[in-house]
Structure formats: C-alpha cells, structure tokens
Chains A and B, each alone.
Chain A
Amino acid sequence: MDALLSGVELLARWDVLVALFIGSVGGVVIGAIPGVGAAVAIAILLPATFSLDPIVGLTILLGIYGSSMYGGALPAILINTPGTAVNALTTYDGYPMTKRGEARRALALAYSASFFGGIFSILCLILLSPLLALIAPHFGSREIFLAALLGIILVVLAHRGQVFAAGMLVGFGILLNSVGLEPIKYTRRFTFDQTWLASGFDLIVVVLGLFALSQAFLLLVDKDNTPHPQPIEGSMLSNLKELWLYKRVASAASGFGVLMGMIPGVGEFTAQFMSYTYAQKTSKTPEAFGEGSPEGLIASEAANNAVPGAAMIPLLALGIPGEALTAMMLSVFYVHNVIPGPQLFQNQLDFVYALYIAMIVLNVIVMVFLLFSTNLLTKVIQIPTRFLGVVILTLSFVGVYSLRNSVVDCAIASGFGILGLILKRLNLPLVPIILGMVLGGIMETKLRTSMVRVKTPWDFVDRPIAAILVLLIVFVLLMHFRTLRREHKERIAEMDHDHDVHTSQQG
C-alpha cells in the first residue's frame, strides 16, 4: 500500500501530468492517422525524451503506446483503413456497421471495449505486482537468457506462414547487435576496417529507419490519397453502456490480451485472433462475424488494448521486451539509468506503480477526449498521404540527428528506411529485426555471465525456473511441429488456407 501511495506521489507533478495529457491526446491523434502509428511516433520522440525525467519521458511514450489503438479504431470503422496495424481486425465488423448507418454505435462500442481492456489489464497487473516482486528475484542470468531465448523462438513461430522470413530477420537483428567493437575482449566484429562500423549500429537509429523513415518513403513514393470520412452525428454517451450487454466477450478478450501481452514475442495479433475466434465460437450469431457483429468488434478492441499494460510485465520484471514498442521503451530506461529487471520490482516498486497509475489515468483522459473530439479527428484523417510523408521525414530528422549530430547515423537510418520500405511492401515483418537486436544483446551478456558457474549442461537447468523455461521452450517447439504435422495429415484444400499475410505485423 505504501508503494502504491508513493507511486501516486511520483505522478503528482505538473510536468508528469502535462506529459500524460500530451502523450494520451497525441497518441490518439497519431493513431487516427493511417500510416503513422505508435511505432513511428515513439521512434521519433525517443531522443527528445532523453533530456526529460525518466517518469516524464516514459509517461509521454506510455501515453502514445496506450492510446494510439483507441485512435486507430476510428479510421478502421469509418473508412475501412486501420489507423494502426493492430486495428486491422476492427475493420472486419466496424466498417460493415458504418455501412449499415451504425458508425456512432460502432465507435462507442470500440471506445468502451478499448477502455475496458485497458483498465482490466492494468488492474490485473496491479494485483500481480506483489507476486512478480516475489518471483522476479529468482531470475538470475541463466533464467533471463532462457526467457530471452524463449522470446526469440516465440517471435519467429508467432509469424505463422512467415516463419522463415521471421527467422532470417531475427538472425539479421542479432548480427546488427554484434557488429562493432566487442566490449569484453575488444575485438572487432564485421567492421570491414570501416571506422563508421566500429561503434556498431545504434538501436534508435535502426528503429527510426525501419519504422519512421520507411513509412515516410512509402507514403512519398506511393500514390496520393485523401480519405473523406463522414462526420458522426449525435452523442456517443448513450451508446457506451451497450458494452454491458457483451461483458462476457469483453472480459474474455481482455483476458486473452493480458495473457498474450505477458508472453514475449506474441502480442496483440495473437490475442486478437484468439479472442475473435473465441467470441465467434461462443456467439449465438456466429454468422454475423465479419458482417458487422458488435461481439467481433469488442473482441478485437478489448484484446488489443489489454496488451500494452501486460507487455510491461516482462519488460519491467525481467528487462525483456516482448515487441518493438517495449524494445524502444527499454532504451529510454537505459538512458536514464533505470535498469528494468528483478531489482526494479524489489527496490522501486513505487516507480512501477506510478507507471500503472499513469496508464489508468491515460485511459480516462483518452476516453473523455474521444467522446468530445471524434469529429475533429475525422479532419485529421484527411491529411493527404504524401504530405504526411513530408511531415514524418521532417520529424524523423529530429529523431536521428539529435542523437549525436551524426551525418553517418542519418545515412544508416536512410539505409534502414529503404530496407523497411522493401519489407513493408513485401508484407514481411520488421519486429523480428528489432527483437533480434535487443534480445540478442541480452542473450549475449547473460549467457556469458551464466556460463561461469556452469560445468555440465545439467548445471544450466538445476534451478526450478531455468528448468521450467527449458521445458517451455521444448514444449513450444514440439507443439509447433505437432501442429504442422497434424495440419499436413489433414491435407486441407489449398484454397481453404488463409494465405493473406496481414499487414498487421508491421508494428
């Protein structure tokens, strides 16, 4: 309780509150613009937050992370274009509702489901925190190494149908992390006698290139497009209480969001598909799914909004990011010398609680903002896409150049921008590169330190958590191959497969 009160105290500062407001509202606006998304915004703002207090900088980024999906539902429902990648499933039922003249109802359901999912996950985390504080100290080097390895395996396997591409891109990410002067033995790795390669690849430069510059290039090269959504008439307040009729779906979807959010490498997409499938299977009207079913809409929105809170668990408790956005946040922690991991839960539980409370407040701010500004946001959607490219490019400059005023950094970011554009065009995932980079670094350090006490392979798993993690890795791999074998035996007709490589994994 003391930690909770102390957490509230940490937040009771005008600069934190302003940051919370800017992050929440900014996140909604950014999320509402198709083609921008939280990853682009966070990548651009990262260097700007380095000069701020840890809690202020993190609050802005958390605000954007937690609120962008609210905004992303707006174009998904009104113009059939998801604002952020994870709102893709919202279009299935949201847009048909708009076509039926139920846009206001669809938006109100999406907002209320998002709010429910967001709050549900944070409450779960607050309840779980004492338990995490108890378990986290039992994670030593080898356990963190194994958890990171599990994350790498999961991020590859979670890209079903793109497993090979995800695998090679994870490898590329691990390679990027290893380039340069190695800090222990001071040897050079893949520097090709080039001085600009000696310092390696900065995570933020790569992130900015892959997410922000690539998006700018994509918008600038592609055809111009200016969507024109219809304005929403009437108040949404009356439609909000309809969520109560679907409380079972909302609770289950939020539960899926929390569970999937906690597992590194899995995230929003798996949570959404699991909750959507569950909602459809248990619905009295499964045929309505994809045709404007309120249950489908709720399943999608509640699940994806429950993930950000839960994704903070592996990040804060173990220092392991589960996806690209938390990987970016990890760099903010490092810059401010706040090292996420078991020690954080033991020694700075108030800081952890402050982050959770900030997330609750941001959900409330976003909800109030959306109820009164939906029509304003429909105007934001109307920015021509190529001009939006100019905006992102101009902002990306601040992100890359302000890091260390390096022209080389900008050139590297441009190179990754072109690579990101190619991957986006090919519908290949970007996230494995970032996770490969971050988790690769964690694995390298932790394996080195953990091997000091390991004499035989059995020593590696002689602690209960390490043994459980190894069993989990074996189980995940076995389940993957078992599923493939079973599916192969069933020989489902080729046209029955879902070959659609959804763009939702672009981050």
Chain B
Amino acid sequence: MIRAKTLQDLFKRYRRPGDLVFAWAFLAFSLFLWFNLDAQTETVKGTKWAAQPSFWPTVAVYTMVGFGALHLVSSFVSPKLEGRWREVGFWLRSFEYAAWFMAYVVLVPRLGYLPSTILFTVVLTIRLAYPLRPFLGAAVALAVTVVVVFKSFLQVKVPGGQVYEYLPDTLRAFMLTYF
C-alpha cells in the first residue's frame, strides 16, 4: 500500500527498470484482443445486453485497453531508469526453468513419479552448482519426501510410469499405487 499524495503520483511513480517494456507489451496485447473482439465473441439475437456472451469480454478488454494506455502514459512521463534490457534479460532467464519444469512434466508419465522427481531435483541441484555434499542427499531426500507425502500418503492423482510395466507383477502393483 503506498500513499499517493498528489494527482501527479498517479502518473509519476516509483518504478522498476523494464516497466515501459511491460506497459508496451500489455497494451499491444490488449489492442490485439480489442481488434479481435467481434471475431472472437458472439452477439445473440433476442438476448438482453447483460446476458450477451460478448458483454463481459467487452468490459474486460475495454478495461485493459483504457487502464493499459494510462499505465503506459505514466511510464512515459516518469524518469528513465537504467538497466531496462538487463531486467528483460532476467525475465527471459526464467524460461530456462520453465523448460526444466516442462521436461519434468513430460517425464513423469514415462519414468514414473518417484524416479522422475529424484532425477529432476538432482539435475536441477547440479545445474544450480550446489556442492554435491550435502545438497545431493538433500535433493534425493526432498524428492522422496514429496512423493511419499503426496502420492503414497495423500494419494494425489499422478499416473504410474510406463517403465513400471517392465517390473515384476507384485512390485509393479506396489509402484503404481504408492510411487
């Protein structure tokens, strides 16, 4: 919560580098939706305005465009901050971890929950350049704890791995149920 004391505070405000880039991107996205509003929503004949399927998307897009434009203006009239592209670089670096996460997601139905989780935490710990002792042990312990708590104990819906099919019958049933 900040205390804006004058009207200028709405336009000139303390910002972080990269604010202008985000303001542009958000407005561009909002305008894209605005141009597609008619094509992507329908108006049904004989229906009151409040019940029209297009009513709330229209309200949302107009709000986004209106406030997005004002936000962009406020970014423009504020002093330029150094480090804009360095900040954008920081945002882009998060894509790497999103990719690791998606790789983990794809791996689980194939390798199984427990093996994938151990692999994921260990590889990520190595990627983060933590010393193998004690972090490798911590990574394995983390993986086992998460799987035991959520899959074995709370029985959350995570499918068994395809590789479990190659296990002996009794072990396969056990692995499918608990890991």
- The answer, among B3, B10, B64, B70, for a CB contact under 8 Å with A172, is B64
CB-defined contacts of A270 to chain B, threshold 8 Å: 1
Closest CB in chain A relative to B69 CB, distance in Å: 9
> A270: nearest residue on chain B (CB-CB)?
B1
* Contact yes or no, A190 B33, CB < 8 A: yes
CB-defined contacts of B154 to chain A, threshold 8 Å: 48, 51
Q: Does A497 contact B (CB under 8 A)?
A: yes
* Contact yes or no, B9 A421, CB < 8 A: no
Interface residues of A in 1-58 (CB under 8 A from B): 47-48, 51
> B156: nearest residue on chain A (CB-CB)?
A402
Q: Does B57 contact A (CB under 8 A)?
A: yes
* Contact yes or no, A189 B143, CB < 8 A: no
- The answer, among A394, A410, A443, A500, for a CB contact under 8 Å with B146, is A394
A189-B41, A407-B105 known; A447+B94 contact, CB < 8 A:
no
Q: Does A504 contact B (CB under 8 A)?
A: yes
A498–B4 CA distance with the chains assembled, in angstroms: 7
Closest CB in chain A relative to B105 CB, distance in Å: 4
Closest CB in chain B relative to A258 CB, distance in Å: 18
* Contact yes or no, A501 B3, CB < 8 A: no
Q: Does B120 contact A (CB under 8 A)?
A: yes
CB-defined contacts of B156 to chain A, threshold 8 Å: 47-48, 51, 398, 402
* Contact yes or no, A448 B50, CB < 8 A: yes
- The answer, among A185, A393, A417, for a CB contact under 8 Å with B47, is A185
A184-B51, A217-B94, A426-B18 known; A498+B150 contact, CB < 8 A:
no
Closest CB in chain A relative to B132 CB, distance in Å: 13
* Contact yes or no, A487 B155, CB < 8 A: no
CB-defined contacts of B26 to chain A, threshold 8 Å: 168
A170-B63, A185-B44, A410-B101 known; A402+B158 contact, CB < 8 A:
yes
A167-B63, A417-B94, A417-B98 known; A390+B124 contact, CB < 8 A:
yes
CB-defined contacts of A389 to chain B, threshold 8 Å: 97
> B10: nearest residue on chain A (CB-CB)?
A163
Indicate with 1 or 0, residue by residue over B87-108, a CB within 8 angstroms of chain A CB atoms: 1001101110110111011101
* Contact yes or no, A405 B64, CB < 8 A: no
A393–B36 CA distance with the chains assembled, in angstroms: 35
Interface residues of A in 109-145 (CB under 8 A from B): none
Most buried by B among A167, A427, A499: A499
> B73: nearest residue on chain A (CB-CB)?
A164
Q: Does A391 contact B (CB under 8 A)?
A: yes
- The secondary structure that dominates the A interface is helix
Q: Does A458 contact B (CB under 8 A)?
A: no
Closest CB in chain B relative to A383 CB, distance in Å: 9
Interface size of A as a range: 35 or more
Query: Which of A68-76, A91-99, A154-162, A350-358 binds B?
Result: A154-162
Closest CB in chain A relative to B154 CB, distance in Å: 5
- The answer, among B8, B19, B158, for a CB contact under 8 Å with A398, is B158
* Contact yes or no, B157 A405, CB < 8 A: yes
Interface size of B as a range: 35 or more
Q: Does B54 contact A (CB under 8 A)?
A: yes
Closest CB in chain A relative to B44 CB, distance in Å: 5
- The answer, among A174, A179, A417, for a CB contact under 8 Å with B59, is A174
- The answer, among B6, B53, B95, for a CB contact under 8 Å with A492, is B6
* Contact yes or no, B22 A398, CB < 8 A: no
* Contact yes or no, A492 B5, CB < 8 A: yes
A167–B138 CA distance with the chains assembled, in angstroms: 43
Q: Does A496 contact B (CB under 8 A)?
A: yes
* Contact yes or no, A390 B2, CB < 8 A: no
A161-B13, A162-B13, A165-B71 known; A221+B50 contact, CB < 8 A:
no
> A193: nearest residue on chain B (CB-CB)?
B40
Interface residues of A in 363-418 (CB under 8 A from B): 384, 386-387, 389-391, 393-398, 401-405, 407, 410-411, 414-415, 417-418
Q: Does A191 contact B (CB under 8 A)?
A: yes
Interface residues of B in 1-32 (CB under 8 A from A): 1-10, 12-16, 18-19, 22, 26, 30
Q: Does A505 contact B (CB under 8 A)?
A: yes
A191–B14 CA distance with the chains assembled, in angstroms: 37
* Contact yes or no, A497 B4, CB < 8 A: yes
> B87: nearest residue on chain A (CB-CB)?
A425
- The answer, among B51, B70, B90, for a CB contact under 8 Å with A164, is B70
- List chain A positions with a Cβ less than 8 A from chain B: 47-48, 51, 158-168, 170-172, 174-175, 177-179, 182, 184-185, 187-192, 213, 216-218, 220-221, 224, 269-270, 272-273, 384, 386-387, 389-391, 393-398, 401-405, 407, 410-411, 414-415, 417-418, 421-422, 425-428, 436, 440, 443-444, 447-448, 451, 484-485, 487-488, 490-492, 494, 496-502, 504-505
Beyond contacts A168-B68, A426-B18: 14 other A-B pairs, Cβ-Cβ < 8 A, are A165-B71, A171-B68, A175-B64, A185-B44, A221-B93, A224-B128, A405-B158, A407-B106, A410-B102, A425-B18, A436-B60, A487-B4, A497-B5, A497-B9
